[in-house]
């Protein structure tokens, strides 16, 4: 609906002379025009001055409110009667359906053309003839069927009229003439009413309801299929998740049983410790690790120094007498290193730990528990710490440090200060005093690689003899590690 201001701006362009509708341009000025108002029938005067747009006015009375609207209805009817054809716009409808399943929402949208743009032949035209409960502006009969043509100038179809048209189910088109310049005559109105489609809109199309219904059914069925697929997928996902959860729980259960068994073995081990000690004591002489260190250090159980038989926390991990592993570590990592090398590389605790796992019998139940450390409870971890090879070695090494054999260097590494004990004099003198002899047994792979690379640079780029190049590489590596 347009407001009254715009209505007031529209001047009446047509008058009716007899049955003939005449445009202001077709009549002489003044009362000589001989025209009457199409709406109220009053006498009109043609205003054709120099200032204002030429127009008709009611003679000696107020302008009537429907004059312009009715005049244009007359004009439209006259044009349609004359041309007997009308271009109708295309009608495209869109439908959308939305649904949800398993928290997922899906929307289906599609559109369909109900009718294409087309020029239709008109049989006959009727003006403002009441039809059921409404008075259409113009009724054009096409192929024997009525087409209601609503002319909108200032007054567009309101919802009440639209509802009535829908109820009547008669094809209806609205023509928007609000933008047409009426001062230039019938031609511009003709093109708007007959030829143009851009200013026309379907208010009702008899095919729309059923086609819209079909489109909606199609979308609903597609939506249902998609939602069903989502539901199936989600069900399957849920089923797999439940299955995996069961498997996980079963696995955890199995691991728990294993842990309980190992913990049980640990407690048994702790309870029967005194029996185990005497058993280990009897086995010492037959332990390969003991035989090896006894031979290297030329000692027996009787001559074994006290610092190689120190009880430490964590030692229950070893399934042997503590003299076996402590003498083993001393003989492998410390004993006579200065005799062998001028510069023994600092000892790594990790390397000692590795040696133990390679050459000593360990309690497997505890190793199993270590592999499940992440899921043990605090009290179980406390038990496990009694079976800790790294912890036991660390404590043993600290005792050696106190005894003056080792000195802490850096990053769990110790340098050797003394490689034998006073009562145990070396049999031979170091005869390598003039040459550099390095020990790389404590180096990590990465350090060994760096050492060799640096030595090569000093040798080939610096032109040093090999022995000096190695010495420089070795010293720089140790001093850098110290700084870190």
What phi and psi values does residue 164 have, to the nearest 5 degrees?
Answer: -65, -40
Closest distance to Zn ion from the beta carbon of 60 (Å): 12
The pairing of beta strand 413-416 with beta strand 44-47 = unpaired
Is residue 39 a contact point for Zn ion (CB under 5 A)?
A: yes
**Which range touches Zn ion (CB under 5 A), out of 33-41, 45-53, 327-335, 426-434?**
33-41
Maximum pairwise Cα distance, the chain: 152
Return the number of the residue (14 or 325) whose C-beta is nearest Zn ion.
14
Is residue 138 a contact point for Zn ion (CB under 5 A)?
A: no
Is residue 72 a contact point for Zn ion (CB under 5 A)?
A: no
Contacts of 294-303 with CB under 8 Å at 24 or more apart are 294/327, 296/331, 296/335, 296/336, 297/327, 297/330, 297/331, 297/335, 297/424, 298/424, 299/327, 299/424
Question: How many C-beta atoms lie closer than 10 Å to residue 481's C-beta?
Answer: 15
Task: Kindly determine how many residues on this chain lie close enough to bind Zn ion according to the rule CB under 5 A.
Answer: 5
Return the number of the residue (37 or 477) whose C-beta is nearest Zn ion.
37
Return the number of the residue (41 or 288) whose C-beta is nearest Zn ion.
41
The CA–CA distances, whole Å, from 357 to 147, 318, 360, 364, 388 equal: 100, 9, 6, 11, 12
How far is it, in rounded angstroms, from Cα 156 to Cα 175?
9
Is residue 57 a contact point for Zn ion (CB under 5 A)?
A: no
Return the number of the residue (64 or 319) whose C-beta is nearest Zn ion.
64
Candidate list 17, 40, 126, 367; residue touching Zn ion; CB under 5 A? 40
Q: Which two tokens stand for residue 389?
A: 């090879």
447: exposed, middle or buried (Cβ count in 10 Å: 0-12, 13-18, 19+): middle
Is residue 37 a contact point for Zn ion (CB under 5 A)?
A: yes
The pairing of beta strand 118-121 with beta strand 124-127 = unpaired
**Which range touches Zn ion (CB under 5 A), out of 16-24, 39-47, 71-79, 469-477?**
39-47
How far is it, in rounded angstroms, from Cα 174 to Cα 157?
8
Is residue 67 a contact point for Zn ion (CB under 5 A)?
A: yes
Candidate list 57, 64, 227, 376; residue touching Zn ion; CB under 5 A? 64
Closest distance to Zn ion from the beta carbon of 171 (Å): 31
**Which range touches Zn ion (CB under 5 A), out of 26-34, 43-51, 57-65, 126-134?**
57-65
Closest distance to Zn ion from the beta carbon of 59 (Å): 10
Return the number of the residue (40 or 312) whose C-beta is nearest Zn ion.
40
State the residues that interact with Zn ion by CB under 5 A: 37, 39-40, 64, 67
């Amino acid at each position: 609906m347009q407001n009254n201001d715009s209505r007031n701006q529209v001047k009446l362009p047509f008058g009716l002379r007899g049955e003939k509708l005449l445009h202001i341009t077709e009549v002489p000025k003044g009362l000589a025009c001989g025209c009457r108002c199409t709406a109220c029938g009053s006498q009109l005067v043609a205003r054709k001055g120099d200032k204002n747009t030429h127009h008709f006015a009611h003679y000696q009375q107020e302008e009537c409110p429907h004059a312009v609207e009715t005049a244009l209805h007359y004009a439209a009817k006259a044009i349609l009667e004359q041309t007997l054809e009308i271009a109708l716009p295309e009608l495209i409808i869109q439908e959308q359906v939305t649904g949800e399943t398993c928290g997922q929402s899906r929307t289906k949208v599609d559109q369909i053309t109900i009718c294409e743009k087309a020029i239709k032949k008109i049989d006959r035209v009727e003006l403002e003839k009441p039809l059921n409960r409404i008075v259409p502006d113009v009724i054009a009969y096409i192929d024997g069927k009525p087409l209601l043509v609503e002319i909108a100038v200032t007054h567009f179809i309101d919802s009440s009229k639209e509802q009535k048209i829908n109820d009547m189910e008669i094809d209806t088109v609205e023509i928007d003439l609000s933008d047409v310049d009426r001062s230039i005559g019938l031609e511009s109105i003709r093109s708007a009413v007959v030829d143009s489609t851009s200013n026309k809109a379907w208010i009702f199309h008899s095919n729309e309801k059923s086609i819209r219904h079909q489109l909606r059914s199609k979308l609903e069925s597609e939506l249902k299929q998609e939602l069903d697929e989502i539901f199936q997928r989600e069900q399957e996902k849920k089923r797999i998740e439940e299955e995996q959860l069961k498997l996980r729980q079963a696995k955890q259960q199995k691991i728990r049983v294993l842990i309980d068994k190992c913990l049980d073995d640990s407690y048994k081990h702790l309870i029967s410790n005194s029996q185990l000690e005497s058993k280990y004591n009897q086995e010492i002489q037959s332990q390969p690790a003991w035989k090896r260190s006894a031979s290297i250090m030329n000692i027996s159980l009787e001559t074994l120094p006290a610092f190689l038989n120190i009880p430490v926390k964590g030692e229950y991990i070893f399934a042997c007498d503590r003299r076996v592993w402590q003498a083993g570590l001393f003989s492998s990592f410390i004993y006579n290193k200065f005799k062998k090398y001028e510069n023994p590389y600092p000892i790594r605790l990790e390397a000692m730990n590795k040696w133990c796992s390679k050459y000593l019998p360990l309690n497997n139940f505890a190793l199993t528990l270590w592999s499940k450390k992440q899921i043990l409870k605090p009290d179980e971890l406390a038990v496990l710490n009694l079976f800790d090879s790294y912890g036991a070695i660390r404590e043993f090494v600290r005792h050696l440090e106190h005894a003056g054999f080792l000195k802490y260097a850096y990053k769990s590494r110790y340098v050797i200060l003394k490689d034998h004990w006073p009562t145990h004099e070396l049999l031979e003198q170091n005869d390598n005093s003039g040459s550099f002899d390095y020990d790389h047994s404590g180096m990590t792979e990465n350090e060994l690689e760096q050492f060799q690379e640096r030595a090569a640079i000093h040798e080939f780029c610096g032109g040093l003899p090999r022995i000096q190049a190695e010495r420089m590489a070795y010293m720089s590596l140790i001093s850098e590690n110290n700084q870190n």
